[in-house]
Amino acid sequence: MKKKTIKLIFAAMAVTALWSGCKKDKDLVPVPQPVVNEPEVFTTMKLKFVDSSNVSNIKYATFRDPDADGGGGYDIFDTIKLAPNKTWITTILLLNEIASPIDTVSNEVLEEGVDHLFCFTPTGSSATVKRTDIDANGRQIGLQSKWRTSTLGNGTMQVELRHQPGVKDGTCSPGVTDISINFITKIQ
Amino acid sequence: MNKFFLYISIFFISTLAIHAQSDTCKNSLYGKIIDEHDRKPLEFASVYIVELAKGAVSDNKGRYKIEDICNGIYTVKISHIGCESLQSKIIVKGKTNQNFYPEHHAEILKDIEITAQKLVEQTTQTKNDVSEEKLNQSKGQSLGESLKSITGVNSLNTGNSISKPIIHGMHSNRILILNNGVRQEGQQWGVEHAPEIDPFTANKLSVIKGANSVRYGSDAIAGVVIVESKPLRDSAGINGEVNLVGMTNGKAGTASAYLEGNFNRLKAFSWRVQGTLKQTGTVSAPNYILVNTGLRESNFSYTLGWKKKKYGAEIFYSQFNTTLGIFGASHIGNITDLNTAFKSPVPLETGPFTYKIGRPYQNIEHELFKAKMYIVTGVKGKLSVTYARQYNLRNEYDKHKPLNDSLAALNKPELQFELTTHSADIIWEHNQVKHFTGSIGFSGLTQGNTYEGRALIPNFRNYNGGIFWIERWRRNKFELEAGIRYDYKRLQVYKYQYVSYATYQLVTPVHTFENVSGNVGAIYKPGSNINLAFNLGTAWRAPSVSELYSYGLHHGAAAIEYGDNTLKSERTYNGIFTLRYTPSKRITIEVSPYLHYVNNFIYRQPATVPVVTIRGAFPAFYYKQTDATLKGCDFYLNYKFTNSIELTGKASILRAWNNTENNWLIMMPSDRYESEITYRFKNYKKLNSSYLSASVLYVTKQWRVPANSDFVAPPSEYYTFNIHGSCSIKIKNQNIELGVSVFNLLNKTYRDYLDRFRYFTDAMGRNITFRIKVPFNINLKSK
């Protein structure tokens, strides 16, 4: 009986020793391997404004932070320039330009619309925004919106993407910020 | 009086031995007498063979030898003052080695400790142990928490589950952790990276304060944490221990056990297997539940030893696995979110209790394999060679999984590091030659790091080499120690550097560092009740990869950090003076003032202009160097009013100054005061070692911080009350230990300056822990 237990203990130790000794040293490869799972990031927001009274009148504004969470800042940060007293049909395009090919992340935001909400906060001469698209639960998303401009002048428009998994209630407060850009606006 | 009896018995036994000389047999029985509890050798223990009426007394190393006996089975009786006499059947065949492990009576144990202490090597550096009582009280908690009972030692926390030790205000890469004689190599630079060590593998935790680079290698500029396992059994038999711990806060459970043995047939071989399982659910602050603070841990280790008189070898393997949730409301998108979180009186996310761990979380694995060999080189000394391999895998998962379904299905970590370290040490220790003892050694290390996912620190390969020499001179009341070490370090970095839009270039810079460290120390014992130790040391630390190459958003800290690849090594000069004074048997006073002057101290300096990213604005921090002065004092007082009531007081005070900026240093512990009153009960029937203690901890507000350097002002001062109680019940010669502790008795709400979650939440509320320790012995029948 005793002998059996002793044998058992030895066998168990031999097995663990073998098992534990078999892990490979990955670091023996000196050069970093191509990044396998570069996490999903947003690098770029493109706003497209179509004049509702004249569909050939199209304006764009872009913000690009090409290394995303890296330490470099933005390399493109446009001012939104729109004519006054018009309604602009606005579409937001989000890109991950680190991925190759470039990933259109806004498609995924649309797919998971129930967890996302765009918030627009104007100051000064800017625009008033109405979201025009809805998610599966009938709540607004904001990838599509209508911007109404009025008086001439300068102001700002903060465009925020709130990630609200399981807590989306139609308001901006729940969740965390995925994107926050404070565009300068010129109504001219 | 006791000594008198001892001498009488020595005389008596030796006379008997002479009388029995007529026996013609020439065999012998020899071995060691070792204290069953702390494995220290016992002097003046008598070993007596009943059948032959023959015996011997152990020397100051616990050794005994009975010569001129015949082969056969004998009844051997072992007695020692303060020990219950032990009797066992022993087979003598030729020259037979047999060790004995008598057990001390707890009440007398205290007297014995004084004699036993003399056998322990004292270094001139300030070394403090976590007492056995405190170690037991902290069972089930992390390593960082277990060390806090030492004055001058603190912890840097990220909530309840991540705790890093701080010595004299310094942490992470400025502290060395020595796990079973091997330098712990994990991703130590991160403040949210706790040491990957199961405290249950240790039967002793100690901290050496001050620069200790000479013996253990560079980086140990603030001190060394030593985690030691119990020595293996060296006589036949199997024994083990089961520990169970339950905690009310987080409904946590921990089970840990070990089994160790040595067989009659193969005396040289000893073994031990050990394992721990731990699970914690979401913990609560006094007023709310902290979402996603659960933790799971599973660890195991084994040790195999082969011990002969002239040589020996040991293999140790341990694996540490943990999955721990990061408090949900602490993960924020940008600085606006952070400000919203600060202003909210209740964390932005709360929820029900659960054992489930959701995003964000960390998953960490650490493996240590160690092989050690030693050989006695004649009478002159001992040569030992140690090889170790460590593998550290760290996976960090962000709060939200990828939007892309196919990416999300892979469930890969957003951040992964793999660090593999190989190290070797060769040390030759020489025995005493004309009052001198010493050691000389060489150590080498190579380390490789690879990452996947977000690039926070680059890939690198690291080569270190060092050589040291330490000599100690001892005579009567004086002891002097001096040591010198040279280290060389080569760091090869592989990094994709951002050049312009969508263009990254592989850069492979090489950094080399070389430096000398040294220390001199002295101990002076003018009387038996006074002990003065003084140590002067200088040590250095090469900048870590994160300090050199951080470039980007640190998600946990909501800050953009910029490393500086021109950083130079830090160098520290420090002095520590320790006075231990025992004016009477009832009073012990220890005062230990210290001064660290750190040249090129690396710290993060906030920039005035925030960085605008697509996520919004973030504060930027640059790694800078300055000259810093850290000075302070640790106090300890123990006063035994009577045999049953004792009072312990502790205080640690620290002032840390940035000399270049002429300002305070950020993230330094504030002053702490603790006092504890203990009542020890008299033994009653089978109950022994019973005590009840109450303690109060007072932590002052840290107002010594540079202005506008932090997101929110440091939290206010706080008090916490704790209660501990324990007793042992003797059942079948084994002491079963039961304990209960109540942490934060009054369920007070408070925030600690050194807890990174203080921005978001109150600290943990009341926590009652119950623990039971069951040792057991399996006697192998001799045939």
B chain contacts of residue A2, beta-carbon cutoff 8 Å: 780-781
Helix (H) or strand (E) holding B11: helix B2-19
Lowest-pLDDT range, B48-62, B343-357, B709-723?
B48-62
Residue A49 pLDDT greater than 60, yes or no? yes
For residue B714, being part of any structural domain is answered with yes
Which of the four pLDDT bands, split at 50, 70 and 90, describes residue B107?
very low
CATH of the domain at A133: 2.60.40
Rounded Cα distance between B132 and B680, Å, is 15
Of the partner residues A74, A108, A163, the one whose CB lies closest to the CB of residue B404: A108
**Residue that has been written with the tokens 């650490």 in this structure:** B366
Distance from CA of A80 to the nearest CA of B (A): 16
Lowest-pLDDT range, A116-130, B1-15, B590-604?
B1-15
Of the partner residues B403, B455, B780, the one whose CB lies closest to the CB of residue A2: B780
- Give which of B117, B151, B143 is closest to B576, Cα–Cα: B151
Contact A99, A35 (CB under 8 A): no
B463 in A contact zone (CB under 8 Å): no
Which of the four pLDDT bands, split at 50, 70 and 90, describes residue B113?
very low
- Give which of B592, B579, B587, B586 is closest to B525, Cα–Cα: B579
Of the partner residues B496, B553, B611, the one whose CB lies closest to the CB of residue A32: B496
**Does residue B741 or residue B349 have the better pLDDT?**
B741
Rounded Cα distance between B693 and B647, Å, is 9
**Does residue B718 or residue A6 have the better pLDDT?**
B718
Q: What is the pLDDT of residue A161?
A: 94
B433-452: per-residue pLDDT in tens?
A: 888 888 999 999 999 998 88
B1 in A contact zone (CB under 8 Å): no
- Chain A's closest residue to B391, CA to CA, is A25
| Cα separations in angstroms, B703 against B661, B665, B671, B710, B717 | 17, 11, 11, 12, 10
Helix (H) or strand (E) holding B12: helix B2-19
For residue B440, being part of any structural domain is answered with yes
Residue B114 pLDDT greater than 60, yes or no? no
Find which of B265, B615, B778, B783 to mutate to test the A interface (most A CBs within 10 Å of its CB): B615
A chain contacts of residue B611, beta-carbon cutoff 8 Å: 71, 73
**Does residue B697 or residue A165 have the better pLDDT?**
B697
Q: Is B306 helix (H, G, I), strand (E, B) or coil?
A: strand
Of the partner residues A27, A45, A112, the one whose CB lies closest to the CB of residue B449: A27
Residue numbers of the domain that contains B346 = 225-778
Which of the four pLDDT bands, split at 50, 70 and 90, describes residue B126?
confident
Facing residues of B104 across strands? B83
- Is A68's CB within 8 Å of B302's CB? no
Same domain, yes or no, for B93 and B241?
no
Distance from CA of B231 to the nearest CA of A (A): 19
Q: What is the pLDDT of residue B112?
A: 32
Chain centroid to Cα B467, Å, comes to: 25
Helix (H) or strand (E) holding B406: helix B405-410
Class of residue A99 by CB neighbours under 10 A (exposed 0-12, middle 13-18, buried 19+): middle
Q: What is the pLDDT of residue B783?
A: 40
Tell me what the mean pLDDT of segment B120-130 comes to: 70
HSE-CB of B454 using CA atoms within 13 angstroms? 24
Q: What is the pLDDT of residue B721?
A: 97
A chain contacts of residue B613, beta-carbon cutoff 8 Å: 65, 68-69, 73-74
Average per-residue pLDDT in chain A? Answer: 84
Which of the four pLDDT bands, split at 50, 70 and 90, describes residue B117?
very low
- Is A30's CB within 8 Å of B461's CB? yes
- Chain A's closest residue to B450, CA to CA, is A27
A chain contacts of residue B492, beta-carbon cutoff 8 Å: 30
Find which of A7, A13, A22, A37 to mutate to test the B interface (most B CBs within 10 Å of its CB): A37
B chain contacts of residue A75, beta-carbon cutoff 8 Å: 500-501
Distance from CA of A101 to the nearest CA of B (A): 11
Q: What is the pLDDT of residue A26?
A: 59
Tell me what the mean pLDDT of segment B310-330 comes to: 90
Residue A76 pLDDT greater than 90, yes or no? yes
Tell me what the mean pLDDT of segment B335-344 comes to: 80
pTM: 0.82
B56-74: per-residue pLDDT in tens?
A: 888 878 888 888 888 888 8
Which of the four pLDDT bands, split at 50, 70 and 90, describes residue A11?
low
B611 in A contact zone (CB under 8 Å): yes
CATH of the domain at B40: 2.60.40.1120
Residue B14 pLDDT greater than 50, yes or no? no
Distance from CA of B351 to the nearest CA of A (A): 12
Percent of chain B with pLDDT over 70: 92
Residue A27 pLDDT greater than 70, yes or no? no
CB neighbours of residue B60 within 10 Å: 12
Q: What is the pLDDT of residue A37?
A: 53
Of the partner residues B304, B399, B412, the one whose CB lies closest to the CB of residue A176: B399
Contacts 24+ apart (CB under 8 A), B555-558: B555/A69, B555/B331, B555/B398, B556/B158, B556/B192, B556/B326, B556/B330, B556/B331, B556/B756, B557/B191, B557/B756, B558/B332, B558/B334, B558/B335, B558/B337, B558/B338, B558/B618, B558/B619, B558/B711
Which of the four pLDDT bands, split at 50, 70 and 90, describes residue B76?
confident
Residues 6+ apart with CB under 8 A from A10: none
Rounded Cα distance between B327 and B130, Å, is 30
Tokens for B743, please give them: 């942490």
Residues 6+ apart with CB under 8 A from B127: B206, B207, B208, B209
A chain contacts of residue B458, beta-carbon cutoff 8 Å: 32
Q: What is the pLDDT of residue A15?
A: 60
Tokens for B504, please give them: 């990254």
Residue B111 pLDDT greater than 50, yes or no? no
Tell me what the mean pLDDT of segment B549-569 comes to: 84
Q: What is the pLDDT of residue A1?
A: 46
- Is A21's CB within 8 Å of B369's CB? yes
Residues 6+ apart with CB under 8 A from B654: B168, B169, B630, B631, B632, B668, B669, B671
Q: What is the pLDDT of residue B207?
A: 92
Which of the four pLDDT bands, split at 50, 70 and 90, describes residue B12?
very low
Rounded Cα distance between B350 and B367, Å, is 35
SS (H, E, C) B625-637: EEEEEEEEEEEEE
Distance from CA of B516 to the nearest CA of A (A): 29
For residue B321, being part of any structural domain is answered with yes
B709-759: per-residue pLDDT in tens?
A: 787 889 999 999 999 999 999 988 889 999 999 999 999 999 999 998 888
Of B75, B110, B145, the domain-final residue: B110
Distance from CA of A53 to the nearest CA of B (A): 32
For residue A157, being part of any structural domain is answered with yes
Rounded Cα distance between B618 and A65, Å, is 13
Find which of B232, B510, B613 to mutate to test the A interface (most A CBs within 10 Å of its CB): B613
For residue B135, being part of any structural domain is answered with no
Residue B20 pLDDT greater than 80, yes or no? no
Contact B313, B282 (CB under 8 A): no
- Chain B's closest residue to A63, CA to CA, is B614
Split into its structural domains, chain A has a count of: 1
Tell me what the mean pLDDT of segment B614-642 comes to: 91
DSSP B168: T
For residue B677, being part of any structural domain is answered with yes
Residue B2 pLDDT greater than 60, yes or no? no
Split into its structural domains, chain B has a count of: 2
Q: What is the pLDDT of residue B17?
A: 42
For residue B293, being part of any structural domain is answered with yes
Which of the four pLDDT bands, split at 50, 70 and 90, describes residue A169?
very high
Lowest-pLDDT range, B72-86, B243-257, B305-319, B629-643?
B72-86
| Cα separations in angstroms, B349 against A46, B161, B327, B336, B341 | 32, 18, 9, 16, 10
Average per-residue pLDDT in chain B? Answer: 86
Q: What is the pLDDT of residue A31?
A: 60
B246-305: per-residue pLDDT in tens?
A: 999 999 999 999 999 998 888 889 999 999 999 999 999 999 999 899 999 999 999 999
Distance from CA of B677 to the nearest CA of A (A): 45
**Residue that has been written with the tokens 């005590």 in this structure:** B691
Tell me what the mean pLDDT of segment B612-618 comes to: 83
A chain contacts of residue B237, beta-carbon cutoff 8 Å: none
Q: Is B5 helix (H, G, I), strand (E, B) or coil?
A: helix
Lowest-pLDDT range, A33-47, A93-107, B399-413, B610-624?
A33-47
For residue B195, being part of any structural domain is answered with no
B chain contacts of residue A78, beta-carbon cutoff 8 Å: none
Tokens for B321, please give them: 């696995």
B127-177: per-residue pLDDT in tens?
A: 888 988 999 999 989 999 999 999 989 999 988 888 999 999 999 899 999
Residue B245 pLDDT greater than 60, yes or no? yes
Residue numbers of the domain that contains A72 = 44-187
Rounded Cα distance between B159 and B165, Å, is 14
DSSP B557: G
Lowest-pLDDT range, A119-128, B50-59, B367-376, B418-427?
B50-59
Where does chain A have alpha helices with state H? 2-20, 105-111
Angle at B61 between CA B587 and CA B79, to 5 degrees: 80
Taking one residue from A and the other from B, the number of pairs with CB-CB distance under 8 angstroms is: 171
Of the partner residues B407, B496, B615, the one whose CB lies closest to the CB of residue A40: B407
CATH of the domain at B239: 2.40.170.20
| Helices H / strands E in chain B, number of each | 8, 42
Tell me what the mean pLDDT of segment B671-698 comes to: 94
Which of the four pLDDT bands, split at 50, 70 and 90, describes residue B101?
confident
Tell me what the mean pLDDT of segment A39-59 comes to: 91
B372-384: per-residue pLDDT in tens?
A: 999 988 778 899 9
- Is B614's CB within 8 Å of A45's CB? yes
Beginning with the edge strand found earlier in the chain, give each strand of the sheet holding B46-49 in spatial order.
B54-57, B46-49, B72-79, B86-92
CB neighbours of residue A152 within 10 Å: 12
Q: What is the pLDDT of residue B105?
A: 45
Which of the four pLDDT bands, split at 50, 70 and 90, describes residue B340?
confident
For residue B124, being part of any structural domain is answered with no
Lowest-pLDDT range, A83-97, B555-569, B618-632, B693-707?
B555-569
Provide the chain B residues 405-444 that lie in CB contact (below 8 A) with chain A. Answer: 405, 407, 410, 412, 414-415, 418-420
B559 in A contact zone (CB under 8 Å): no
**Does residue B103 or residue A41 have the better pLDDT?**
A41
Rounded Cα distance between B237 and A147, Å, is 84
- Is B461's CB within 8 Å of A17's CB? no
Q: Is B447 helix (H, G, I), strand (E, B) or coil?
A: strand
Contact B172, B189 (CB under 8 A): yes
B452 in A contact zone (CB under 8 Å): yes
Provide the chain B residues 345-384 that lie in CB contact (below 8 A) with chain A. Answer: 367, 369
